[in-house]
A and B are shown apart, each in its own frame.
Chain A
């Protein structure tokens, strides 16, 4: 009811108009804006659009949960695909990784330990590089969230009748879409240019890419949880360094277990990332899978659950 101008107007007018005389001279001091804004003002008054809302056509109740997810996902997707620079660099990143790893360490393939992989180092290194791409994309989710906090977008949503958590869901969905495209580009590029011969065929490759996408989605939640906790890009930078280097290198991603020093072999055995690496390698190359696929799914599900819980907790209303 107070939405409509008439109700509250008299009280207001009664008070404001009784003012010291110097008021009128003050407001006419800046005639330029006064005139432009007054024109706008008269438009407003007719329609009542600034606040009186008579021509609004909708009630600001807040969209329902899944509509929010849809609207925000569309926004996130548009953000990551409309920025051509970002898109190009995003696609270049896996290419660079693949070329460096497969070419720089190519001679490793001649070692006996690689006999099982036909002495083709590309075959050995490309599946874990795809996992690595999943990891990097997961990391970028979190820096995206931090950027949103800085632009104040999330601050605005805090005082709107919407759920903050939908922002995070939207973010992970659009990041998954980006990851799928990166993985496809990287896989096709590897087959065409980098001497990658996945024995697993289309079925094995599809399986591996699905697993890596799931992996990227799940770890994305962990990094989002970290970003909602760290709140600072610097902290996150450090976290990402720790994750990328020791965790990635303490695996059988680059050389088989028998070539690792004993202590590192144990690290690799205990490293959960290793299951994802071995699983995707197994799927791509038809090497023994053991329980790696199921273990990866279990570990990633567990991490995602923790990540979702933690970010929901960190994103709750500030106190």
Chain B
């Protein structure tokens, strides 16, 4: 039953000589959150624009819910909700009127539109500000209204293009909860972000875009396994134990460095079996340890290593994979 809601084959876009998107393939199953990660100018917005029928591809093809993005945009627009990098609310109107307007344009009767606006105001915590002009809203409130408007028609597919850019941490957390809720309710979410933490927390699948190309894709865990470094921080009983322990770890090619904690040493570990080897070796050497913590690699590590790989190999082919 796992049918792809979004597919793309060889999708590309060029402006004259400049290629801003090259050969992107996608197969995104229903009800999942797909994260597109990349820095400014990586091609994220271009890709989203093509998928949500705002821009045309110059190469390849893509479908949303089985409809071709070039030939059947109207059918796609009946099924998607889009939130861009900049809020698109009518600042002169109240939050309620903004929501009613969108519902009416989507085909709701006046009564249905009012009921829907009430639901959305409640769901997005805007009841108290409902009848104030949107220009009086804070940045976080505007963003919530913007999202509420994009979701008025209960879209099957939701595009969120950098939804948390420029938000404070509290508002950002609010947006994250909304994304999680969307996925729970069965929507398919395409999320672009520059923040690794965001993609790591929200996305089921991540694609990293750089210079218009997909350089790597997979689950957050896969990406980290493939590219990140897992580290172990070992805390020893005293200074002597620490020196002895560090030399044991050096012999195991673990490249230990002093940790921030007293008598602590941090070293890279690869597979889980490496940890056992280390503990056994330390035990055999009679070195006493008081604590050991493992740190999983974060997407920051992935991102940095990819970036490094791209700079050293500017042809941009997935050299790291």
- Interface members, chain A 127-172 (any B CB < 8 Å): 151-153, 155-162
Give per-residue flags for A26-63: 1 if the beta carbon is below 8 A from chain B beta carbons, else 0.
Answer: 11001011101110110111011111110111111111
Contact with A along B85-111 (1 / 0, CB 8 A): 011111111000000011111111100
Q: Does B52 contact A (CB under 8 A)?
A: yes
Residue B116, interface by CB 8 Å: yes
Question: Interface-forming stretch among B26-34, B247-255, B279-287, B311-319?
Answer: B26-34
Q: Which of A16-24, A102-110, A194-202 contacts B (4 or more CB under 8 A)?
A: A16-24
Report how far A135 CA is from B140 CA in the complex, Å: 41
B31 A2 Cβ-Cβ under 8 A: yes
Contact A40 B122 (CB under 8 A): yes
Contacting pair A34 B173 (CB below 8 A): yes
Cα A56 to Cα B153 with chains together (Å): 8
Q: Are B154 and A56 in contact (CB under 8 A)?
A: yes
Is B186 a contact of A158 with CB atoms below 8 Å? no
Residues on the A chain within 8 Å of B124, using CB: 40
Q: Take A4-B186, A15-B219, A62-B77 as given contacts and tell me if A9 and B84 are in contact as well, using a CB distance cutoff of 8 Å.
A: no
> What's the nearest-Cβ distance from chain A to residue B221, in Å?
7
B112 near A51 with CB under 8 A, answer: no
B154 contacts A49, CB within 8 Å? yes
With A33-B170, A40-B125, A62-B105 already in contact, the answer to whether A159 and B29 are too (CB < 8 A) is no
Partner of A2, one of B33, B93, B188: B188
Find B125's partner among A36, A79, A157 (CB 8 Å cutoff). Answer: A36
Distance, CA A151 to CA B103, complexed state (A): 19
B143 to chain A, nearest CB (A): 12
Cα A33 to Cα B224 in complex, Å, equals: 29
* Cβ contact within 8 Å between B78 and A60: yes
Contact residues in B for A21 (Cβ distance below 8 Å): 296
A71 at the interface (CB under 8 A from B): yes
CA distance A62 to B151 in the complex (A): 14
Q: Which of B177-185, B232-240, B256-264, B269-277 contacts A (4 or more CB under 8 A)?
A: B177-185
User: Which of A4, A47, A49: most chain B Cβ within 10 A?
Assistant: A49
- Bound Cα distance from A77 to B170, whole angstroms: 38
| CA distance in complex: A302, B54 (Å) | 32
Are the CB atoms of A20 and B296 closer together than 8 Å?
A: yes
Chain A residues, CB < 8 A from B90: 75, 151, 153
Asked if A51 and B185 sit within 8 Å, CB to CB, the answer is yes
Partner of A58, one of B108, B125, B151: B108
- In the complex, what distance in Å separates the CA atom of A314 from the CA atom of B185? 38
Task: Please determine whether B107 and A61 come into contact, CB atoms closer than 8 angstroms.
Answer: yes
Indicate if A291 sits at the interface (CB-CB under 8 A).
no
With contact pairs A15-B204, A58-B103, A61-B106 given, residues A83 and B82 touching in the complex (Cβ less than 8 Å): no
How far, in whole Å, are A15 and B30 apart by their CA atoms in the complex?
13
Contact B177 A63 (CB under 8 A): no
Residues of B within 8 A of A71 (CB): 101, 104-105
A11-B2 in contact (CB<8A): yes
- Contact in complex: A58, B106 (CB < 8 Å): yes
Whether, in the assembled complex, B162 has its beta carbon less than 8 Å from a beta carbon of chain A, the answer is no
What is the 8 Å Cβ interface bit string for chain B, positions 7-36, against chain A (1 contact, 0 not)? 000000000000000000000011111000
Provided the pairs A11-B29, A45-B184, A51-B186 are in contact, do residues A63 and B105 lie with their beta carbons within 8 angstroms? Answer: yes
The reply to whether the CB of B131 lies closer than 8 angstroms to some CB of chain A is no
Q: Give A2's nearest chain B residue, CB to CB.
A: B30
Provide the residues of chain B in CB contact with A23, threshold 8 Å.
201
Closest B residue to A52 by beta carbon equals B185
Taking a contact as CB atoms under 8 Å apart, the answer to whether B181 and A63 are in contact is: no
- Residue on B with the closest CB to A6? B186
Mark each residue of chain B from 207 to 251: 1 if its CB lies under 8 Å from any CB of chain A, else 0.
Answer: 000000000000111001000000000000000000000000000
Closest-CB distance, A44 to chain B (whole angstroms): 5
- Choose from A6, A32, A51, A61 the contact partner of B155 (Cβ within 8 Å): A51
- Contact across chains for A5 and B107 when beta carbons are under 8 A apart: no
Q: Per-residue 0/1 for B60-93: is the Cβ within 8 Å of any A Cβ (1 yes, 0 no)?
A: 0000000000000110011110101011111111
Q: What's the Cα separation between A23 and B152 when bound, in Å?
A: 30
Q: Does B119 contact A (CB under 8 A)?
A: yes
Contact between chains at B221 and A20 (CB < 8 Å): yes
B84 engages A152 (CB within 8 Å): yes
Within B134-173, the residues touching A (CB, 8 Å) are 149-156, 158, 169-171, 173
Cβ contact within 8 Å between B154 and A3: yes
Tell me if B41 is interfacial: C-beta within 8 Å of chain A.
no
A12 within 8 A of partner (CB): yes
> Are the CB atoms of B91 and A151 closer together than 8 Å?
yes
A8 touches which one: B88, B102, B186 (CB < 8 A)? B186
Distance, CA A319 to CA B73, complexed state (A) = 13
Listed from nearest, the 9 A-B pairs whose CB atoms lie closest are A8-B31, A53-B154, A60-B153, A152-B88, A51-B187, A52-B185, A2-B30, A58-B108, A60-B106
- Chain B residues in the interface with A (C-beta under 8 A): 1-2, 5, 29-33, 52-56, 73-74, 77-80, 82, 84, 86-93, 101-109, 112, 115-116, 119-120, 122-125, 149-156, 158, 169-171, 173-174, 177-178, 181-188, 197, 201, 204, 219-221, 224, 296
Measured CB to CB, the residues of A under 8 A from B are: 2-9, 11-12, 15-16, 18-23, 26-27, 30, 32-34, 36-38, 40-41, 43-45, 47-53, 55-63, 67-68, 71-72, 75, 79, 82-83, 151-153, 155-162, 317-319
Q: List 17 A-B contacts (CB under 8 A).
A: A4-B186, A9-B186, A21-B296, A22-B296, A41-B181, A45-B185, A48-B185, A56-B154, A60-B155, A68-B105, A75-B101, A153-B90, A158-B53, A161-B74, A161-B106, A318-B54, A318-B55
Known: A51-B156, A82-B92; 8 extra A-B contacts, CB below 8 A, are A41-B177, A44-B181, A48-B185, A52-B185, A57-B116, A61-B106, A153-B90, A319-B55
